[in-house]
Chain A
């Protein structure tokens, strides 16, 4: 089974796009349905900080806002949960709001889970890479001897 790279969901909401947009992009909105508290610098390149209260600690995430097209498109990138702080991988989350009758059809797509930087895949197989180095060294000696 391939690593799922992309998550996609569509829901129908009774509220019009402007109201859904506000819930998605305001500090009050993001701090209500998505996290427990949020601050938002709503512009491409701006950051939103979201916090979640856990039983005895606090979990937080930084969203780097990528697209702000009210009231139709809002996107951010963020770290993949569970990976070390210095891991460069980020997933891309995009919300698309389309009018549907008096309400909104909201689609969210999160993609990029399956990305693996080249260096990491190499590091994952350091043992084999080392084996190859030896074999390549043997090949060089062989070719040198044949020359």
Chain B
């Protein structure tokens, strides 16, 4: 299998989280720690067979790791690495420079209003309007 790129890893995380059953399985593993399909069936309103199927899909995608063991006793745990790759994706989307820069604009305008000698333009006009002139 070719080495996956970060985008494929992030896509696998988001695909897993888009499905309610897989979301609840990952949530249960995050809350309760490593668990077998039987443990998860006791926690969730889902059959053990369905849980096993989803755990295999999640393991294929690298989102959970199966600890070695006899088939029915296999414990699964969340693999954090793909999550942190998906988090960088979310961090880029969540980085809110627009409101930070609007804050900078307001702070500078406020300071200029307090010290009129520094205000070469009317401070209450948006920058785009000031720059639209000749």
Interface residues of A (CB under 8 A from B): 1-5, 7, 9, 11-16, 19-20, 23-24, 29, 32-34, 80-84, 87, 89, 100-103, 106, 108, 110, 113-116, 120-121, 123-128, 131-132
Question: What are the 4 A-B residue pairs with the smallest beta carbon separation, nearest first?
Answer: A123-B81, A113-B92, A124-B81, A33-B107
Partner of B107, one of A23, A114, A125: A23
Q: Assess whether B131 is in contact with A101, with CB atoms less than 8 Å apart.
A: yes
From known contacts A81-B94, A124-B4, infer whether A3 and B89 are also in contact, taking CB-CB under 8 Å: yes
Q: Assess whether B6 is in contact with A3, with CB atoms less than 8 Å apart.
A: yes
Q: Assess whether A113 is in contact with B108, with CB atoms less than 8 Å apart.
A: no
From known contacts A19-B118, A33-B106, A82-B87, infer whether A11 and B101 are also in contact, taking CB-CB under 8 Å: yes
Q: Which residues of A contact B87 (CB under 8 A)?
A: 80, 82-83
Partner of A83, one of B88, B109, B120, B125: B88
A80–B85 alpha-carbon span in the complex (Å) = 11
Q: Which residues of A contact B108 (CB under 8 A)?
A: 13-15, 19-20, 23, 33
A132–B1 alpha-carbon span in the complex (Å) = 8
11 example contacts (A-B, Cβ-Cβ < 8 A) are as follows A5-B92, A9-B98, A16-B120, A34-B103, A80-B91, A102-B120, A103-B131, A113-B89, A120-B85, A121-B6, A126-B81
Interface residues of B (CB under 8 A from A): 1, 3-4, 6-7, 9-10, 59-60, 62, 65-66, 79-82, 84-85, 87-95, 97-98, 100-101, 103-109, 111-112, 118-121, 123, 125, 127-128, 130-131
Most buried by A among B91, B103, B125, B131: B91
Q: Which residues of A contact B94 (CB under 8 A)?
A: 81-82
From known contacts A23-B107, A101-B131, infer whether A126 and B118 are also in contact, taking CB-CB under 8 Å: no
Q: Which residues of A contact B91 (CB under 8 A)?
A: 80-83, 113
Q: Which residues of A contact B109 (CB under 8 A)?
A: 14
Q: Which residues of A contact B120 (CB under 8 A)?
A: 14-16, 102-103
The chain B residue with its CB closest to the CB of A9 is B97
Q: In angstroms, how far is the closest chain B Cβ from the Cβ of A87?
A: 6
The chain B residue with its CB closest to the CB of A104 is B108
Partner of B121, one of A4, A14, A124: A14
Q: Assess whether B127 is in contact with A82, with CB atoms less than 8 Å apart.
A: no
Q: Assess whether A124 is in contact with B92, with CB atoms less than 8 Å apart.
A: no
Q: In angstroms, how far is the closest chain A Cβ from the Cβ of B89?
A: 5
Q: In angstroms, how far is the closest chain A Cβ from the Cβ of B88?
A: 5
Partner of B88, one of A3, A7, A24, A100: A3
A90–B44 alpha-carbon span in the complex (Å) = 38
